[in-house]
Amino acid sequence: MITLALVDDSAVVRTGLRALATHDGDIEVVAEAGTGRAGLAEVRRTRPDVVLMDLRMPELDGIEATQAIAADPELADVRVVILTTFDEDAEILAAIRAGAAGYLLKDVSPGRLRESVRLVAAGEPIFSPTAARTLVRSAAAHSASVVDATPLAQLSDREREVLTAVGRGLTNDEIAVELYLSPATARTYVSRLLARTGVRDRAGLVVLAYETGLVRPGE
């Protein structure tokens, strides 16, 4: 069972999200809150697998609440997905830098929403097409101007290959096929990369792959 927290300042939206998320029976909503501050308190109390976080809320906004969750070692296993109506580049990048594992727009289909929760709970980043394009554009622009390969010095050749594959957007199963690994070994390599680089999630590994020049725009 995947546990889920809903943080949105609209009670109507939370009611709808609860109904949509729990439709198939494998997702349980364990907390709800209408402000960022209350949401942070509920996340600390219940420690859900995934948080669906609105962007603009009273007290603490979604970015600030996400930063607080990402900075708390006791919440290291909690994954935040921003769910919003706003798709501006600045807000998408701010959410990713704050530690969000996903960024979806509220026009997402019910099935896509549930599948996104499942994938994020399993460690896969999830972004709307707009957010994905923004992430790649930002990383590509950075890599075109400054390439710092220092973070790669501590990695083995195989770890660099896995990081390159993650940067290209491959899933663990796809990495296993491409690099002739078992799925379990591919997952182990990704977990090792997170630990060795200090990056929180796969979205951060994608950015790292661009920033270090392992992946270039268009690849």
SS (H, E, C) 120-138: HHCCCCEECHHHHHHHHHH
Q: pLDDT value at position 138?
A: 59
pLDDT at res. 217:
59
Query: In the chain, which stretches have pLDDT less than 70?
Result: 89, 128-149, 217-219
In terms of Cα–Cα distance, which of 28, 16, 27 is closest to 54?
16
Domain ranges of the chain: 2-131, 145-211
Separation between Cα atoms, residue 80 and residue 77, nearest integer Å: 10
Number of Cβ atoms within 10 Å of the Cβ of 4: 26
Report the C-alpha gap between 203 and 121 in whole angstroms: 14
Instruction: Tell me what pLDDT residue 128 has.
Output: 65
Q: Which architecture does CATH list for 145-211?
A: Orthogonal Bundle (1.10)
User: Which CATH number does the domain 2-131 belong to among 3.90.550.10, 3.40.50.10710, 3.40.50.2300, 3.10.20.30?
Assistant: 3.40.50.2300
